[in-house]
Amino acid sequence: MPSRRIEVTTWYLEQRDPVELRPAGEPAVPVRIVRAEVPSPELSRFLYTAVGGDWYWTDRLPWTYEQWRNWLVRPGVETWVAYVRGTPAGYAELDPQPGGQVEITYFGLLPAFHGQGLGGHLLATGARRAWDLAERWPGREPTGRVWVHTCSNDGPAALKNYQARGFRVYDVKVGAETHEHHPPGPWPGAHPAE
C-alpha cells in the first residue's frame, strides 16, 4: 500500500502546580486503576499496540524485548493500567525527567472502551500519580511540572481531554510526516479504524 505525506499538528501541554489538575466525572462503568509494579515488556507492548494501533503509534514498534525492558526498569517509570471487569481498558505511562518534571509519555484507551467516560478519569488519575511520583521513589525530587504532547494523528478527544483536566498548551508545532494509507492497527492483519 503506498505511503503518503500528511500535515501533523503537535500540541505540547503542561501543568506547573497540582492544584491545576481538574478531576473528571465518574465513568459510566466501574473501573480500577492499578500500577503495574513489575516491569513487563509484554504488557507494555500490548498496551502500546492495542491503544495506539489506530492512531499511527509506530515509533516503538521496532523495539526489541531488551529495549522495552531497558525503558521500563528505569527508576520512576510507571505504567498505570485501567481495568474494567478484569479486562485492560487503557493506560498511562509516566516518565520522570530531570528537574522535577514528569512526562505522560503515552495515554489512551483500547477502542472497545471509548465513550464510557473512562478517558477523563484515567487521565486525572495518571496526572495525580505524576504529581506524587516522588513519594514512591526515594531520592527523587518532588514533581514541579507534568507535561504531555498530543497530535492531530491521535484520537479526536485527546486534546480536549487534556485541556479539560487543566493542562495548558505552551507550544504548537506543525510538520509533515510520512504514513501508510491506514494506521497499522493493533497487530498485523487487524482491521484498523476507518
pLDDT tens digits along 80-106 = 999 999 999 999 999 999 999 999 999
CA distance 164 to 124: 10
Of the candidates 167, 66, 67, 189, the residue with the CA atom closest to the CA atom of residue 107 = 167
CA distance 139 to 186: 37
**pLDDT-wise least confident of 99-108, 132-141, 150-159, 180-189:** 180-189
What torsion do the CA atoms of 102, 77, 141, 168 make, to the nearest 10 degrees? Answer: 10
Structure confidence by residue, pLDDT tens digits, 16-45: 999 999 999 989 899 999 999 999 999 999
Output the pTM of the full model. 0.89
**pLDDT-wise least confident of 63-67, 180-184, 189-193:** 189-193
Residue 14 has pLDDT above 80, yes or no: yes
What's the distance, Cα to Cα, between the start and end of the chain in Å? 15
Task: Give residue limits of the domains in the chain.
Answer: 7-178
CATH code, 7-178: 3.40.630.30
Residue 169: per-residue pLDDT: 97
Residue-averaged pLDDT of the chain: 90
Measured at the CA of 114, the angle between CA 44 and CA 148, to 5 degrees, comes to 55
